[in-house]
Amino acid sequence: MTVEELLSKMRAVFTPEQVEVLTEFIKFLDKLVKATDFMEVKEAIIRLENSIESLRDVVRELAQNQRKVDESILELKEAQKVTEQRIAELAEAQRRTEESVRELHEAQKVTEQKIAELTEAQRQTQQAIKELTEAQRRSEEEFREYRKITEQKFAELAESQKEMQQAIKELTEAQKRNEESVKELREAQKITEQKMAELIEAQRRSEEEFREYRKITEQKFAELSEESKKTQMVFKEFMESQRELNRKLGGIDQTMGYMLENEAYRNLPGYLERKFGIKVHTRIIRKEVNGKEINLLAEGERKGERVLIVGEAKSRLAIGPERAKDIFEELEDKIRAVLEEYRDYTVENVVPVIVTHFASKSFLEEADKQGYIVVQSFEW
């Protein structure tokens, strides 16, 4: 038998890929024979005939397996057709479902999820087919492992088909649930529409009540506006009276302040000498210095050193720490103004004095911390 005859017979049995592998093998053997001597060729031919006979057995067995695989593939194709038919039916049902639930967004999400599951199942099928193709390629390269690999891949394919059928079954069940959900949503839609009609009616009644309320409110507002005008007139008169009262009280307070200062002019020198050993050498006066009104100003002596007495008169000092701080800052400003004119004195030579009719305990304590002399009129 020639090589061409052998190749012709193999083409009738094997696939083109298998024939290509066997051809390469025969060419390799042919090349090997040319590279050896005649005796070795003869022995190789004998062995080759034996190998070919064995190969024929293998080929016959592979052919039988191939026929089985072909039959299985035909069965799978039929099952695939049934699957595609089922998928087509499910797709049609899905289309009807989508038309029914276009306005029901949540049901659409569920359907899209199931379509994604169907796509995933299809991807798994394609992956299984890809694996089967890879197994076929390996079976062409490894003849002795062909049966084992083929059976294994067939089992995997069968399992994949089962999984796909299970996925289709689940998809069918999901489709049934979708249809039930659509039915429930339609019922819910009816209830919603009924509630909406009730709300519209309630809104209409509310609008009528609001119009009536607005009419009454506008009437009340007009009455209140008239009353407000009267109240504003009364308030205006009250404010005029209050301003007049404040002017009078201010005059009284200023008068009392001047009276307190006048008392201080007479009584403060003796009190300062008795209480603090400060001798007043000049008459205590009221004077404007650098734009500041100084209530009490005089020169004196303390322990042989010249001092400058700068004081403030306040009728009543029943105040807290914050207000006391303002009083102290006001006196400090006046002291700085005086020192700008009386340049012979420094701040250490100034005796700050505050004269009042009454001072609270907290004010007296704070003044003592700051180094101020506070004199209450009842003390001189």
- Give the model confidence (pLDDT) of 310-356 as tens digits: 999 999 998 888 899 999 999 999 999 999 999 999 999 999 999 99
**Could you tell me if residue 238 is inside a domain?**
no
Tokens of 203: 């809104």
Q: In which domain, by residue range, is 334 found?
A: 277-379
Find out whether 23 and 7 touch, Cβ atoms under 8 Å: yes
pLDDT in tens, 200-213: 887 888 778 778 87
296 and 149 part of one domain = no
Q: How many domains does the chain have?
A: 2
Residue 344 has phi, psi (to 5 degrees) of -75, -10
Nearby residues of 295 by Cβ (< 8 Å), 6 or more positions away: 257, 261, 286, 311, 312, 313, 355
178 and 308 part of one domain = no
> CA–CA separation, 203 vs 323, rounded Å?
59
**Could you tell me if residue 170 is inside a domain?**
yes
**Could you tell me if residue 198 is inside a domain?**
no
Q: Which of 150, 171, 192 is the last residue of a domain?
A: 192
CATH of the domain at 346: 3.40.1350
Tokens of 50: 């034996």
157 pLDDT band, cuts 50/70/90, is low
**Could you tell me if residue 233 is inside a domain?**
no
10 and 143 part of one domain = yes
Q: Which of 175, 192, 209 is the last residue of a domain?
A: 192
188 and 281 part of one domain = no
35 pLDDT band, cuts 50/70/90, is very low
**Could you tell me if residue 186 is inside a domain?**
yes
Average the pLDDT over each of 141-145, 191-195, 217-221, 330-334 and give the range with the smallest value. Answer: 141-145
In three-state secondary structure terms, 362 is: helix
- Claim: this prediction has a pTM higher than 0.85: no
**Could you tell me if residue 227 is inside a domain?**
no
**Could you tell me if residue 213 is inside a domain?**
no
Find out whether 48 and 29 touch, Cβ atoms under 8 Å: yes
171 and 50 part of one domain = yes
**Could you tell me if residue 64 is inside a domain?**
yes
Closest by CA to 273, choosing from 351, 344, 346, 339, is 351
281 and 174 part of one domain = no
**What long-range pairs does 185-188 form, CB within 8 A, spacing at least 24?**
185/101, 185/104, 185/106, 185/107
Q: Which of 192, 208, 243 is the last residue of a domain?
A: 192
158 and 16 part of one domain = yes
